[in-house]
Amino acid sequence: MKRALIASLAFLMFAAVASAQNSTSETQHKTPPTIDQRTTGMQKLPGFFTYFWDAREGKLWLQIDKWNTPFLYYESLPNGVGSNDVGLDRGQPGKTKVVHFERGGPRILLVAENERYRAVTDDLEQRQAVQQAFAQSVLWGFEAAAEDGESVLVDATPFFLSDAHEVAAKLAALKQGNYHVDPSRSAIYLSRTRNFPENTDVESTLTFVGENPGGWVEQVTPDPRAITVHEHFSFIPAPSDGFHERSDDPRSSFFGISYMDFATPVDQPIVKRYIAHFRLAKKDPSAAMSEPVKPIVYYVDRAIPEPIRSAVVEGTAWWDTAFRAAGYNEAFQVKLLPEGVDPMDVRYNVVEWVPRATRGWAYGSAIVDPRTGEIINGHVNLDALRIRQVFLIAQGLLDPFGRDPAALQRANEMALARIRQLDAHETGHTLGLMHNYAGSIVNRSSVMDYPPPTVALGADGALDVSDAYAIGIGEWDKVSIAYGYSDLSQAKNRHWRLTRFSMLHSQEGFCTSRIRTPARSAPPAPSRTFGIPAAMISTA
């Protein structure tokens, strides 16, 4: 197939040369304009993929200069619908794919690669056999409108105004109506269309029109026949080499990736499993404690009001304890999101605030390189109404009629304690961790559980909620982080070290998402524990 393609390209080139020799005027007619000529008067935004904004036409032109070179494509939903039942929330992560551009004449294809089936070997023919045996997915076709050598300019507006997040499909599946994008009510959203060397970001305002809207969209839209949201597109360079894949252990409690490796010897498992984790290494691998080469920094949404914001900063920062236990100083840091930073900018791990019409789930998710399991970005979504629900529970326990200011203060404190715990839980998911449903009943060993409040009965018969929720992460969480993040670059027996962490894990007692237990109420299912993740999301 590739040989045929090369042959046809060679023919086209020959034809072009022959044409040039035959007629200069005809050549001028057929020669595409240069990118400079075609983009005259447009605003140029250089970045990972340079693009041009044509304000007069409302079009975004993409300059493609990297061919058959894999990069990551990630889509998300910055502005949502506002209904927990519909589940299209502000800041909702979408899918991550490994893609590349390839060209056939004037047609430019954006191709999603198939990472589920591989042959990890130097043998080119084995690799090609697997590549040709399994389908790829062409996500979009563009037309070359101008070119300079290896660089081609395409009108990418229709791609960026497409429903990559599958909002219409979700609304239909939930029987909320049959919607489609109305191009006349959709546009590139410039203030969040930004370009950097590390990521090319484009955002669009999309209006979905339809009839017979369901009750949930009626509840949250000014006119349910027009649902306007934002979708966000990120092109991210494939991470550099040097990331160390860490093998999975059923006891390790991490989400991860898996794929079939057809180059595996017959006496070894053909399915390979690796955990999802951030890239982290010590500056001094021989030191018991060392600063990291690059810390993991989380940023808290400024939209979170006080005193909740401070509770969220504290809850997120609990994880620093685990990284210190794993031998790192200052490896895990928490800051406020700088003013003006887009929460969907993948360079920032974010804890984002999600107002909805009704109380809903919190989420912890991660953008993961499907090739290696490297976490590129962590993203927590915290529901704005959750604290009110916990407060009402506490008030019901302590002072149902709201007459005692001191009791209301205690109810407030219990609600904030739950938010710290909830935020730490979701942050744990973004670090790669699954649930531990035994965490609450084994000495509060993990924040990765859904903890019930502990309420004590005082000698005077009064209820005491001062210890309703644990403070800080648990021992199991520390061993988890040690498994996923310890710098083992100088370990003599890396496999033995990892096995030891796993055994320590077992001693703490755990029940992960992979195990599930009928003894507990059914938890919301993580989208997938292993496999190439569409999105690595878990809830609480």
Q: By CB under 5 A, tell whether 540 contacts Zn ion.
A: yes
CB of 416 to Zn ion, least distance (A): 19
Q: How many CB atoms lie within 10 A of CB 191?
A: 8
Separation of alpha carbons 444 and 471, rounded Å: 9
Q: In the complex, what is the shortest distance from the CB of residue 360 to Zn ion, in angstroms, rounded to a whole number? A: 13
- Write the interaction track for Zn ion spanning residues 481-520; mark x where CB under 5 A is met and - where it is not: ----------------------------------------
- Lookup result for tokens 């092109």: 235
Residue among 193 and 538 whose Cβ is closer to Zn ion: 538
**Token pair recorded at residue 515:** 């195990």
Q: How many residues bind Zn ion (CB under 5 A)?
A: 2
Residue nearer to Zn ion on the CB measure, 152 or 540:
540
CA 75 to chain centre: 9
The first and second tokens of residue 46, run together, are 């250089």
Q: Which residue is nearest to Zn ion (CB)?
A: 540
* CB closer to Zn ion out of 307 and 523: 523
- Which lies closer to Zn ion via its Cβ, residue 233 or residue 318? 318
Q: Smallest distance from the beta carbon of 242 to Zn ion, in angstroms?
A: 31
Choose one: 86-94, 230-238, 341-349, 531-539; the region binding Zn ion (CB under 5 A). 531-539
Measured between alpha carbons, how far is 335 from 339 in angstroms, rounded to an integer?
12
Q: Which residue has the tokens 């529970």?
A: 393
Token digits for 401? 């009629």
Residue 473 binds Zn ion, judged by CB under 5 A: no
Residues 120-159 that bind Zn ion (CB under 5 A): none
Does 538 help bind Zn ion (rule: CB under 5 A)?
yes
Q: Where are the beta strands (DSSP E) in 212-307?
A: 226-237, 256-261, 271-275, 296-300
Query: How would you classify the pairing of strands 256-261 and 226-237?
Result: unpaired
Between residues 217 and 424, which has the closer beta carbon with respect to Zn ion?
A: 424
- The single-letter code of the amino acid at 234 is S
Could you say which residues in the range 74-93 bind Zn ion, by CB under 5 A?
none
Q: How far is the CB of 513 from Zn ion (least distance, A)?
A: 8
CA 480 vs. chain centroid, Å, equals 21
With contacts defined by CB under 5 A, name the span among 24-32, 169-177, 250-258, 530-538 that binds Zn ion. 530-538
Where is 102: in which H helix or E strand?
Answer: strand 92-104
Q: Which of residues 369-398 bind Zn ion (CB under 5 A)?
A: none
446 binds Zn ion (CB under 5 A): no
Minimum Å gap between C-beta 89 and Zn ion is 16
d(CA 539, CA 429): 9
Burial (CB count within 10 angstroms: exposed 0-12, middle 13-18, buried 19+), residue 229: buried
Could you say whether residue 433 binds Zn ion (CB under 5 A)? no
Q: Residue 290 gets which letter from DSSP?
A: B
Closest CA to 192 of 316, 306, 90: 90
CA distance 241 to 372: 10
Closest approach, Cβ 429 to Zn ion, in A, equals 6
Query: Of 269, 326, 266, which is closest to residue 497 (Cα–Cα)?
Result: 326
Alpha carbons 455 and 497: distance in angstroms, whole number: 40
The Cα–Cα gap between 231 and 228 comes to 10
Residue closer to Zn ion (CB basis): 167 or 540: 540
- Cα 125 from chain centroid? 34
Residue number with CB closer to Zn ion (281 or 540)? 540
Q: How far is the CB of 253 from Zn ion (least distance, A)?
A: 12
* Cβ-based nearer residue to Zn ion, 127 or 516: 516
In the complex, what is the shortest distance from the CB of residue 425 to Zn ion, in angstroms, rounded to a whole number?
A: 5
**C-beta of 387: minimal distance to Zn ion in Å?**
17
User: Which residue, 225 or 516, is less far from Zn ion as judged by CB?
Assistant: 516
Stretch in the footprint of Zn ion (CB under 5 A) among 44-52, 416-424, 476-484, 532-540: 532-540
> From the DSSP assignment, how many helices (H) and strands (E) are in the chain?
13, 24
Residue 540: CB minimum distance to Zn ion, A: 4
Question: Which of 60, 433 has the CB closer to Zn ion?
Answer: 433
Positions in the binding site for Zn ion (CB under 5 A):
538, 540
